[in-house]
Amino acid sequence: MGELIANFGTGQVPMVAYLGVSLIMFFSGVYGFLTRKSLLMILVAVELMLNAVDINFVVFNRFLFPGQFEGFFFALFTIAIAACETAVAIAIIINIYRNINSVQVGELDEMKE
């Protein structure tokens, strides 16, 4: 905390602050993943976790290897894969809703009629 206050006048945001933000985001995603019962809400929590990981990739790239692009492209590809995953997951959720008329995880107790 002392370093944060000491750095406040210098005009640069320390790396710890960025990592702290993504940490809060990731663990609120973990909490949501464990407590929510609707499939869509679980997907929202997963999106939060993926987004936190993207921030971490970019921050490590910027602060530790500023001349390279590995973290940048990992974040880019992670965003693309997350979009794919969301599309397939929502297709599956809509199919489930059509079959059992609900998207609650507690009522999903059979795979095929």
Partner 1 sequence: MANQIIFYVLATIIAIFSVLAVTSNKIIRSALYLLFVLLSTAGLYLLLGYPYLFGVQIAVYAGGVMVLFIFAIFLTNKPGDKVDKERPIRRIVAAITAFTGLAFCGHIIYYNVARVFTTVIAEETKIQVIGRTLMGTEKYQYLLPFEVISILLLACIVGSIMIARKR
Binding to partner 1 in span 20-59, by CB under 8 A: 20-21, 23-25, 27-32, 34-38, 40-41, 43-45, 47-48, 51, 54-55, 58-59
Calpha distance 52→56 (Å, rounded)? 6
User: Looking at the chain, how many residues does it have?
Assistant: 113
Task: Tell me which residues in 58-97 interact with partner 1 (CB under 8 A).
Answer: 58-59, 62-64, 66, 68-70, 72-73, 75-77, 79-84, 86-88, 90-95, 97
Least Å from the CB of residue 7 to partner 1: 8
Q: Is the Cβ of residue 3 or residue 108 nearer to partner 1 in the bound state?
A: 3
Burial category of 81 from C-beta neighbours within 10 Å (exposed 0-12, middle 13-18, buried 19 and up): exposed
Site for partner 1 contains 6 (CB under 8 A): no
Q: Is the Cβ of residue 37 or residue 108 nearer to partner 1 in the bound state?
A: 37
Burial category of 56 from C-beta neighbours within 10 Å (exposed 0-12, middle 13-18, buried 19 and up): buried
